[in-house]
Amino acid sequence: MGPVPKVTLVVPCFDEARRLRMDELARLLDESDLALVLVDDGSTDDTPHLLDQFAAIHPTATVVHLEANAGKGEAVRRGLLRAIESGPEWVGYFDADLATPIDEIVRLVRIALRQPAEVRAVIASRVRLLGSDINRSAIRHYLGRVFATAASMVLELPVYDTQCGAKLFRADDLREPLAEPFTTRWIFDVELLQRLCARLDQPARAIIEVPLQQWSDVHDSKLGPTAMLRAGWQLLRLRLRSRP
């Protein structure tokens, strides 16, 4: 058995058989010294079989099967807990639809590995800048900006984008924040950041955002405007619960 990779990334999967890009996941393992934890979130299609096939030929890939659909937040939490068990320096997650492309995942991993000890988390941010290729529908962009502003107020942190599905964390920092299931279904990212911030002396310095160079809406994404409205309600509840 070789040395433990410094980075282990979690990929939550629910009924992703049509969208899974196994060739791209294989390329990620080929181009980076990292491991993958693929979480089957109680899928009803061929996803479990595809994940098991992939892990059978890639020693640094592990599959976690959840018996019933528990939601993305719980799938990520269970996957991160499994990832931490192997002893990596960094753990993180990204979406199975590869809205954040593999090249960007590789870039984020390399950025995280270069950070000084005081940086505890690296999160991707969908900022539409000159020279970047960020493709997002107008309605999701503007709803997202409203939500992000509210989330920054809840976190008391000047974060631009809490909901981009690509984040990395120092593994040692997540044991306590992941000890209990998330109380929110749609905004577990915000809840995880809130739990992490409670452990950090200077969150605004310990967490850095990296603007993505590429990102694209996936047309059959499971998250729509109705879900965003539900997320807003859960954000309010999270804020109320966080008050002393």
Distance, CA of 79 to CA of 152 (rounded, Å): 26
Looking up residue 23, the CATH number of its domain turns out to be 3.90.550.10
What is the residue range of 70's domain?
A: 7-242
What pLDDT sits at residue 210?
A: 98
DSSP 6: S
For residue 228, being part of any structural domain is answered with yes
* Residue 24 domain-assigned (yes or no): yes
Would you say residue 152 lies in a domain? yes
SS3 for 166?
strand
pLDDT of residue 12: 98
Q: Is 52 within a domain?
A: yes
- Report which secondary-structure segment, H or E, holds 143: helix 138-155
C-alpha torsion 219→94→119→214, nearest 10: -40
Tell me, yes or no, whether 2 lies in a domain. no
Residue 161 is assigned to a structural domain of this protein: yes
10-residue block means of pLDDT along the chain (244 residues)? 86 96 97 96 98 97 97 97 97 97 97 98 96 88 84 91 96 97 91 95 96 86 60 71 60
Query: Computed over its alpha carbons, how large is the radius of gyration of the chain?
Result: 17
The amino acid occupying position 57 is I
Residue 243, pLDDT score: 56
SS3 content of the chain, % helix, strand, coil (to 5): 40, 20, 40
Residue 225 pLDDT: 58
105 three-class SS: helix
In a domain, 1, yes or no: no
- Report the domain count for the chain: 1
Lookup: tokens for 235: 């954000």
The answer to whether residue 113 sits within a structural domain is yes
